Amino acid sequence: MPFARRTPKEPMDLPPVTAASGGPEMRIEGRRLSTLGMRWLRVTCACGHEGRVAVPELADRHGGDTRVRQVAEKLQCSQCGQARVRRIALSD
């Protein structure tokens, strides 16, 4: 039963979240990729390296129902080679 855990109320059209407006603890970790639209995820690694990944590209690779936090667990830093995401923000 892959879809057993379903969130009853999931806002589909939230305003864009930016690092400036939301701070480090933005609540996008539980969002599905398909709800984020044509944006970028700005990912900061524990080593300090920051990169941007296109949301549609992630949705293609992992599926639109995948949540941001699940993607974060799989992202690998191009600088230190580890999966140690410290922070994720949405950017346009």
Q: Interface with Zn ion by CB under 5 A: which residues?
A: 45, 47, 49, 77, 79-80
- Which of residues 67 and 86 has its CB atom nearest to Zn ion in the complex? 86
- Which of residues 21 and 79 has its CB atom nearest to Zn ion in the complex? 79
Q: Quick one: tokens of 59?
A: 């949705």
- Which of residues 53 and 64 has its CB atom nearest to Zn ion in the complex? 53
Minimum distance from residue 78 beta carbon to Zn ion (Å): 8
Minimum distance from residue 72 beta carbon to Zn ion (Å): 13
Answer whether 90's CB lies under 8 Å from 31's CB: no
